[in-house]
Amino acid sequence: MKVDLGKPMNIGEKAVYRFFWTLAWIVAKCLFRFTTVNKDRLPKDKPYILAPVHRSYIDSPLAGLIIKRRIRYLGKESIWNNRLGGWFLGVLGCFPVQRGTADRAALRACQEVLERGEPLVMFPEGTRRSGSRVESENMFSGPTFVAARAGVPIIPLGIAGTDKAMPHKARFIKPAKVFIVVGEPVLPPKFEGRVPRQAVEDLTEQLRQALQEAFEQAQTLLAGKSRKNNKR
């Protein structure tokens, strides 16, 4: 199955993207007063995988707001049943993947995105989790496998506070302070041909540790901010 990644943005689509990115940034800044730390660790003009911790639905849009450069996401294919909605999401960086039966196609599409020179968001925990720990049993090897195949760095992203802004099962978003910490890049070794399974597992554990470190830094910053506000 071939996944449609769309064509490079034309001038009009770039203008649409920049307008809605700016609008989303302003709204998010007002609601979450989010602060991004170590943004200089993000490659400027090279492809990479952005791997955020996942505690809330709003982790996805916030990950795309830390830089102005368009970041690509995977989206459910059914969303593209509406042509206008599909076009709009495509401009914002999403590309359709058939749920449940297209895992290999999705991984190939992710690799192709990176080969095109675009950054990509992949959640190594797969779905939303709870708690302050990034557990080994919750880690998926997809991001590290794709990174090893494409030869690109993985950038862990610790996000603290989104679970307060939109907790699990919450229907509405509420204002809450959010800290985002860009972790140390995880660099995959170079491989000729097939990527060994053990190498992917080792890289996944390395990513887990880096993600945990970035997450802890974000939680520490958030706790410090809360204590400071309580003393006022």
Hey, what domains does the chain have and what are their CATH numbers?
11-231 (3.40.1130.10)
What pLDDT sits at residue 88?
62
Q: Which residues of the chain have pLDDT under 70?
A: 1-6, 76-89, 97-102, 230-232
Provide the whole-model pTM. 0.89
What is the C-alpha separation between 135 and 144, in angstroms, rounded?
16
Residue 210's H or E segment, with its range, is: helix 197-231
Q: What is the pLDDT of residue 198?
A: 94
> Taking a C-beta distance cutoff of 8 angstroms, is the pair 6, 109 a contact?
no
| Cβ–Cβ < 8 Å for 181, 63 | no
44 neighbors 182 (Cβ within 8 angstroms):
no
User: What's the rounded Cα separation, in Å, for the pair 101 and 106?
Assistant: 9
| Alpha carbons within 13 A on the beta-carbon side of 220 | 8
